[in-house]
Amino acid sequence: DGYNVAVVGATGAVGTRMIQMLEESKLPIASVKYLASKRSAGKVLKFKGADVVVEELVPDSFNNINLALFSAGGGVSKKFAPEAVKRGAVVVDNTSAFRMEEGVPLVVPEVNEDALYKHKGLIANPNCSTIQMVVALEPLREVYGLKKVIVTTMQAVSGAGNRAIQELHDETQAILNGEEYEPQVLPVSGDKKHYQIAFNPLAQIDVFEDDGYSHEEWKMIHETKKIMADQDLQVTATCVRVPVAVAHSEAVWFELEKDGADVAKLQSILKTAPGVVLQDDPKNQIYPQAVNAEGKKDTFVGRIRADKEQANSFHLYCVSDNLLKGAAWNSVQIAERLHALNLMRVPD
Ligand code: A2P
Ligand code: 11C
């Protein structure tokens, strides 16, 4: 009794956390199937202590699967997610392949769980930097409305996958040893030039658009509007990769629509908000930190301050594990909600 679950990209930075989140979940699971490229076929991973052999992803991998979690890159999702849905599997896709498609729900359960009711077999999981920001802002928006957001991110290299984590380690080691190191992955493995990330923040995440914004910045702008179902919301972003392995940090400036908010009121809202842990006590040097967020499912929020110049405007700082709430946990949480709402099926 329970679901047959496939994890696509099971050997990757997000895929391995998806497995961990499934192990911790109360979702009824009858079987798991681990899928990756031909390179990893035959590799043995665990599920709750038992061996699971990784299989090469092919369309028929999804026969008899009820739920497929995808995190093997946009190209893989574009090609195989429709094959999974066709075979009756509900897909939760962690890539950017379908996020902006009309009719595809883009879901952060704390914000827009209701969007799940309209799914047609595929639900998109937003970008990691978007997710933690909307988790922090939604409870405030519900009370005061939200007019404008300006965010600067400090994003961990794990957002670019396991090879990027390895590059940060090897490059840092090489530099400390006084050795040469040739970057090959960051800022973007597919772009023309590669730069040093060790001791050197890079203001490029994903490729650049014609208007000068990076695609990561584009995602934060457009995904936030879609998740909050407010195309008039003003959002802009500057996304920066920093030499941190896991957990994204973000400095967020926001303007509320209604009068009457103050720091104490915002803190008290966030204290009980779902998925949020308030860490905001500057006198005692309490504020969110990446090293403390790693491995946790929550979004940590602190440094809430009133803007000195502009009415109804505030700053906050939020940190969350980009591989968990930013990816694997949000995907498994969506699956848990689909189950709870009796929506774990592809509609006719
Ligand atoms: P593999 O380990 O076989 O390369 P990361 O984000 O850490 O780079 O991981 C990417 C994940 O996506 C890995 O599990 C990787 O599998 C998987 N993957 C990459 N390309 C393909 C593909 N063409 N088909 C199936 N899985 C893929
Ligand atoms: C990063 N946010 O930190 C990216 C990773 O759209 O799912 C996730 C990319 C995405 O590099």
Name the token pair of 206: 């994903």
**Which amino acid does the sequence have at 260?**
G
| pLDDT tens-digit map of 174-191 | 999 999 999 999 999 999
* CA dihedral of 269, 274, 275, 279, whole degrees rounded to 10: 20
| pLDDT (0 to 100) of residue 281 | 98
Proximal ligand: closest to the CA of 38? 1
- How buried is 251 (Cβ within 10 angstroms: 0-12 exposed, 13-18 middle, 19+ buried)? middle
Other Cβ atoms less than 10 A from the Cβ of 178: the count is 6
Q: Whose CA is nearest to atom 5 of ligand 2?
A: 159
Question: 11 alpha carbon to ligand 2 midpoint, in Å?
Answer: 17
* CA dihedral of 223, 112, 140, 148, whole degrees rounded to 10: 30
Q: Whose CA is nearest to atom 6 of ligand 1?
A: 161
| pLDDT (0 to 100) of residue 324 | 98
pLDDT band at 20 (very low <50, low <70, confident <90, very high): very high
Q: Whose CA is nearest to atom 10 of ligand 2?
A: 127
For residue 157, which of 166, 149, 148 has the smallest C-alpha distance? 166
Q: Whose CA is nearest to atom 1 of ligand 2?
A: 159
3-state secondary structure 275-332: CEEECCEHHHCECCCHHHHCCCCCEEEEEEEECCCCCCEEEEEEEECCCHHHHHHHHH
Per DSSP, what are the bridge partners of residue 254? 149, 314
Pocket of ligand 2 (CB under 6 A): 95-96, 127-129, 155, 159-160, 205, 216, 219, 322
What average pLDDT does the segment 161-182 reach?
Answer: 98
pLDDT band at 106 (very low <50, low <70, confident <90, very high): very high
Closest approach atom of ligand 1 to CA 13: 7
Q: What is the DSSP letter of 326?
A: I
Q: How far is Cα 215 from Cα 221, in angstroms, rounded to an integer?
A: 10
Select from 129, 168, 220 the residue to mutate for testing ligand 2; criterion: most ligand atoms less than 8 Å from CB: 129
Q: Are 132 and 319 in contact (CB under 8 A)?
A: yes
Select from 70, 128, 202, 205 the residue to mutate for testing ligand 2; criterion: most ligand atoms less than 8 Å from CB: 128
DSSP string for residues in 245-267:
SS-EEEEEEEEESSS---HHHHH
| pLDDT (0 to 100) of residue 157 | 98
Report, in angstroms and rounded to the nearest whole number, the Rg of the chain calculated over CA atoms: 20
pLDDT band at 251 (very low <50, low <70, confident <90, very high): very high
Active-site residue numbers? 128, 248
| pLDDT tens-digit map of 289-342 | 999 999 999 999 999 999 999 999 999 999 999 999 999 999 999 999 999 999
Q: What is the pTM of this model?
A: 0.98
**Which amino acid does the sequence have at 341?**
L
For residue 11, which of 47, 38, 35 has the smallest C-alpha distance? 35
| pLDDT (0 to 100) of residue 316 | 99
Q: How far is Cα 184 from Cα 311, in angstroms, rounded to an integer?
A: 46
pLDDT band at 170 (very low <50, low <70, confident <90, very high): very high
Mark residue 251 as left, alpha or beta (left: phi above 0; alpha: psi -120 to 50; beta: remaining).
beta
Q: How far is Cα 124 from Cα 96, in angstroms, rounded to an integer?
A: 8
Q: Are 279 and 286 in contact (CB under 8 A)?
A: yes
| pLDDT tens-digit map of 213-244 | 999 999 999 999 999 999 999 999 999 999 99
Question: 285 alpha carbon to ligand 1 midpoint, in Å?
Answer: 41
Percentage of the chain lying above the pLDDT 70 cut: 100
| pLDDT tens-digit map of 36-65 | 999 999 999 999 999 999 999 999 999 999
For residue 222, which of 243, 237, 207 has the smallest C-alpha distance? 237
Q: How far is Cα 339 from Cα 267, in angstroms, rounded to an integer?
A: 32
Mean pLDDT taken over the chain: 98
Question: 33 alpha carbon to ligand 1 midpoint, in Å?
Answer: 15
Phi/psi for 254 (5° steps) reads -145, 145
pLDDT band at 111 (very low <50, low <70, confident <90, very high): very high
Question: 283 alpha carbon to ligand 2 midpoint, in Å?
Answer: 34
Name the token pair of 174: 């090489």
| pLDDT (0 to 100) of residue 34 | 99
Question: 255 alpha carbon to ligand 1 midpoint, in Å?
Answer: 40
Q: How far is Cα 320 from Cα 63, in angstroms, rounded to an integer?
A: 35
pLDDT band at 78 (very low <50, low <70, confident <90, very high): very high
Question: 229 alpha carbon to ligand 1 midpoint, in Å?
Answer: 32
Closest approach atom of ligand 1 to CA 57: 25
Q: Which residues have CB under 8 Å from 138's CB, separation 6+? A: 108, 110, 111, 228, 273
pLDDT band at 27 (very low <50, low <70, confident <90, very high): very high
Q: Is the ipTM of this complex over 0.85?
A: yes
Pocket of ligand 1 (CB under 6 A): 9-15, 36-37, 39-40, 57, 72-73, 76, 161-163
